[in-house]
Chains A and B, each alone.
Chain A
C-alpha cells in the first residue's frame, strides 16, 4: 500500500476494485465502512456482488478481465470533464500526453461494449472518485491475477495520479496483500531477481556488497519464478526443490500439470506445519514451528514491520524455521549461526536501506513502516509524499487486451476464483481449525439462479465443471452474489481443486502471475 490502513477512514472517496474486502481483509473493510459512515463516497467495481456493494454509492459488475477498459473509460471522462489535477500532472508526472491519447479512444460506449457497464454508472462513479479528494483506491488479487495483471495495476496508478491522489494522506493506490508476510517475503529478497530491499542481483555493486557480507560469491543470472520452475521441472532442468511453508500443489494453476512436474523432481523437501498436499509427495518433510512458537517479524500490507513473540515452545520435536535453515546451511558446509532472530534482523537491516533504521527495540508493539532509513526516522505512513520514489510518476498508455480465454460455445461460462471469509489460502491451517471448519466444510460452486435454471440444477446438487484442462465435481450453492454467466469457486478445498480448471499457460508476461480470475468452463449436472 502506498498509504496506511488507518488513513482509509480519512478518504473523501474509497474505490474498491477486485477485492472482496469483508471476506479477505475484514479489518480493512472496517476502515472502509467507517470512511463511508463519516461521509466518504464508496465505489465498488467487481464482477461479483460483494458485501460492500450494498454500501456503495455506485456498484458495478464489470465483465471479468475488463479492468483496463473500465479504468481507461474513467480516465476518458475525467479528462473530458477537466477533473484531472493539471498542476500535479505537470510538476510531478511524465508520460501524460500518451495516456491522454490512449484514453481518448475509450468512449463510454466502447467501454460499455467491453465491460458491460452502463455509461450513466460509469460517469457517476468517475465523478464521485474525481471530485471527492482524496480518493483511496483499494485492490487485491481481482486486479493482479490476470494475463494483464501488470497493466491492470498500472491503470490503477494512472487513474490515481491523474487525480493527484498519490503522495497525499488518505489517498493512494493500495494493494491489499493476501498473506501475512507476503510483503516481508518480497522485502527480504524472496524473489528471483532481487536481494533484500529490491536490490537487483544483476547490479554488480549489489552483488559485491552481499558477497562481502556473506563471504560467498553471488550468482548474477536472474533465477526462475514459480511459473518458470514448472516447465524447468518438466524439462528435467530443475532437479531439486526446497519448499518452505507453501502448498504449491494446491495453489498453483493447472494442478495436473504441476503434479506431473513434481514427479519429475529428483528430490523434494517440504518444510511445513502439516502434511499438506505438497508435503505428501515430498522425499523429506521438515517440521516447522507456528507463529506462536518463535520470535521474529512480519511486514504487513501497509509496510509495517511488527514483532511476533514466542508464546510457547515448538510442539513435539518441531523446530523454528530459522533454526532449520541454519542447520541445513551448516550441514551443507556454510556455517550459519545465530543466537536468536534479532541477530538475523540486525544483519538484514545492515544490508537493507529501507529497514536500516529498524531494530527490535524500536519496532516495539506498534511496528515501523518502511522506508525507515536511519535510527531517528519515524517510519513512513505514506509513500511518494513530495516526490515519487523514481523521481517523476510515470503514466503508462495501455490498451485493453482480452483475457487469454473467453467463454465460447463449448465452454460458455466465465469461471472466477477467490477466498471465502472463514478460510485462508489452501486451507492447510484453517480447515483443521474447528471453529473455521464448521463454517464451510467443503468446496462449492456459486451459481446464479438464472443459470441454474438453464442447467436444471438446484441448490446442493452435484455438478461437473469442465475446462480445457480438466474436470472437477462440486456441490452447487445458488446465490445472486455472482452475475448470470459467471460462476465462482473458492480456492481452499483440496477435494474440489479449483486449479484443475485454471490455466497454467496463461500468465502475465512480466509478473508471471497466472490468470486465476478468468477461465471458461462448461457445467452439467452429475448423473450417477
Chain B
C-alpha cells in the first residue's frame, strides 16, 4: 500500500491556501488543509475541501481529440500536436503571425504561462497574448 500526503496549493481562487492531497495507491482520496501554512493556517472553504473531486471526475479528458467532419475523434499526442503545428504554420504563412492569438491561463502554473507566452512571442511571433484576468 502506498499512502502519501502531498503539499500543494488550492486552485479555486487567488487566496492560495496550502492543502495536502491524500493519495492512496496513486488515487487522491481527499484534500486536507495544511495546518502550518502561512495563508490558511489549517482551514479551508468548501471548494478547497473538495479540490480533489474535479481531479477524479469521470468527465476528465483522457486523450487529445481532433474534430473530423464535425465529430470529435480520439487521437494520440503525435497526431494532435503535428496537426496543430501544421495548421498554425499554414495560417502564419498565409496571414502573418498576428493572425493568431494565444489565451494563456490564470489556472495553469507560472512555468506554463511563461512557456505559453514564449511560444506566442518567440515561435509564432505575435504579442496577441492575453488571459481572463478581466473576467
Contact = CB atoms under 8 A, between A and B. Distances in A.
- A and B: direct contact (Cβ < 8 Å)? yes
B46 A436 contact: yes
Interface residues of A, number: 141
A318 B4 CA distance: 22
A182 B15 CA distance: 11
Main secondary structure of the interface of B (DSSP, over half): mixed
B105 A312 contact: no
A244 B132 CA distance: 11
Contacts of A248: 103, 132, 135
A301 B10 CA distance: 13
B131 to A, nearest CB: 5
A60 B34 CA distance: 36
B61 A275 contact: yes
Interface stretch (A117-125, A265-273, A394-402): A265-273
B89 A332 contact: yes
Contacts of B81: 324, 327-328, 331
Contacts of A279: 61
Contacts of A300: 9, 14-16, 39
A306 B9 contact: yes
Contacts of A5: 15, 39
Interface in B3-57: 4, 6-18, 21, 23, 26-28, 34, 37-40, 43-55, 57
Contacts of B115: 322, 325-326, 329, 336, 344
A404 interface: no
Contact of B113 (A144, A188, A285, A422): A188
A180 B110 contact: no
A308 B109 contact: yes
A471 interface: no
A187 B52 CA distance: 27
B131 A185 contact: yes
Interface residues of B, number: 101
B64 A345 contact: no
A272 to B, nearest CB: 6
Contacts of B83: 284
A24 B6 CA distance: 25
B59 interface: yes
A28 B10 CA distance: 14
5 contacts: A190-B129, A244-B105, A285-B72, A311-B6, A312-B27
B12 A430 contact: yes
Contacts of B37: 365-366
Nearest to A306: B9
Nearest to B102: A242
Given A183-B14, A223-B128, A298-B16, A240 B103 contact: no
Contact of A318 (B63, B102, B105): B63
A246 B103 contact: yes
Interface in A221-247: 221-227, 229, 232, 237-246
Given A180-B16, A317-B77, A432-B57, A292 B127 contact: no
Nearest to B63: A317
Interface string B59-74: 1111111110000100
Nearest to B72: A285
Interface string B91-125: 10011011111111111111111111111111111
